[in-house]
Amino acid sequence: MEFTFTEDQLAVKEAARDFAQNELLPGVIDRDRDMIYPEAEVRKMAEMGFLGMMVSPDYGGGGMDTLSYVLAMEEISKVDASCSVIMSVNNSLACWGLEQFGNEEQKRKYLTPLASGECLGAFCLSEPEAGSDATSQRTTAEDKGDHYLLNGTKNWITNGGKSMIHLVMAQSHPDLQHRGINTLIVDKTWPGVTIGGKEDKLGIRASDTHSIMYSDVRVPKENRIGDDGFGFKFAMSTLDGGRIGIAAQALGIAAGAYELAVKYAKERTTFGHPIIQHQAISFKLADMATEIEAARLLVYRAAKLKDMGLDYSTAAAMAKLYASETAMKVTIEAVQIHGGYGYVKEYHVERLMRDAKITQIYEGTSEIQRLVISRSILKGQIYQPIPESMHHI
Ligand code: CAA
């Protein structure tokens, strides 16, 4: 399976690469160490159109395809995964869901500022006791006629402190279980919304992760996305695309660490030779390159399926599973190749290794991706002949 790119797609990749190398790289170590939110860098991403890439120009977006988006995610993640998760959540989880399922008024009011990057969005599904088991929502949205009364706590919310618009999943009809869940659009400034402290994390330390408490927040009925009880399906469909974004992030982290490892292995000499000439190192690099290429094909394939309007749920789960496992393995090996230098911040690979870990956890752990894939196998949705429309890929 081969991919050819249009000039536009290649231009996006190049712009993202230049931005990452010239503007993200210089301060990335300091931002990571001191948990500094990349304010100016996110503003620049907005100006460059990286925060609403796939949104229609009718709502201020870039009107690009998913493949362009993953190419940009990959390049930015090679350098700064904190910035790329901010970008991924805004594009895939906030903008995409609103554009796909929101009504015209909701899109005008909320999607337009999100797509331009004038403000950021957050996707509020996880709770202290509902992570992988996302149907067990404890947050409630009580139907009060013309509004919902929202109560509960959300955990580990990316863009939690900086976002102005929250998409919050909450239970309105507990007797209906997941079919009673609604997704509500909540403005951060409304009374009853409290943002918890910033999480002190292992990796992606500059990204903005918070708990958010909702206490008797009045949410107008017109801020519900879709029909009553559509909220869980909204979350699952949106996460299918989100997983492509995180898969691209993992791919970028792996590729970034690999590029650094190759460079170092050519420069560093031991026993009279550059270490790349030692088989112990060159075989590691061979494995790393092969696994990255396999991950890349899975990520591009999932993006392409989405762009072609075909089912991509399982493909996204496979891409995220494989790319995140690859990111973890490759970054560990990149540290090993760097030896003692790999263990200090200056050489970047220890940060990439810490950043890789979260890709196996958020937007569905590796175990959840295996669950999604295995259910597809049970349903006979895998190993069907490749659709004719894909033969040219
Ligand atoms: N698209 C549309 N609907 C879907 C779907 C999909 N991909 N997957 C499931 N559904 C529907 C099912 O059809 C079912 O609906 P009906 O009963 O009406 O038919 C309903 O959702 C429930 O599905 P299941 O019976 O499969 O539910 P389950 O509880 O057995 O499993 C799960 C669901 C797949 C495990 C799900 O809970 C899940 O994905 N968990 C992981 C949650 C997750 O990814 N969290 C990430 C948090 S967000 C984040 O990390 C963002 C960030 O900040 C970076």
- What is the distance in A from the centroid of ligand 1 to the CA of 200? 28
Q: What is the pLDDT of residue 381?
A: 82
Tokens of 347: 């050489």
For the chain, which ranges sit under pLDDT 70? 1-2, 383-393
Closest-CA residue, ligand 1 atom 43, reads 364
Q: Is 208 in the pocket of ligand 1 (CB under 6 A)?
A: no
Q: What is the pLDDT of residue 323?
A: 99
Tokens of 386: 């490749």
For the chain, give the mean pLDDT. Answer: 96
Q: Is 15 in the pocket of ligand 1 (CB under 6 A)?
A: no
Q: What is the pLDDT of residue 388?
A: 65
Question: pLDDT tens, 205-244?
Answer: 999 999 999 999 999 999 999 999 999 999 999 999 999 9
pTM, two decimal places: 0.96
> Which of 236, 237, 310, 366 to mutate to test ligand 1, by most ligand atoms within 8 A of the CB atom?
236
Q: What is the 3-state secondary structure (H, E, C) of 81-106?
A: HHHHHHHHHHHHHHHHHHHHHCCHHH
- What is the distance in A from the centroid of ligand 1 to the CA of 231? 11
Q: What is the pLDDT of residue 3?
A: 76
Residue 228, judged by CB atoms within 10 A of its CB (0-12, 13-18, 19+), counts as middle
First to last CA, the chain: 6
- What is the distance in A from the centroid of ligand 1 to the CA of 238? 10
Q: What is the 3-state secondary structure (H, E, C) of 258-325?
A: HHHHHHHHHHCEECCEEHHHCHHHHHHHHHHHHHHHHHHHHHHHHHHHHHCCCCCHHHHHHHHHHHHH
Which of 117, 390, 88, 363 is CA-nearest to residue 248?
A: 88
Q: What is the pLDDT of residue 389?
A: 67
Catalytic residue list: 363
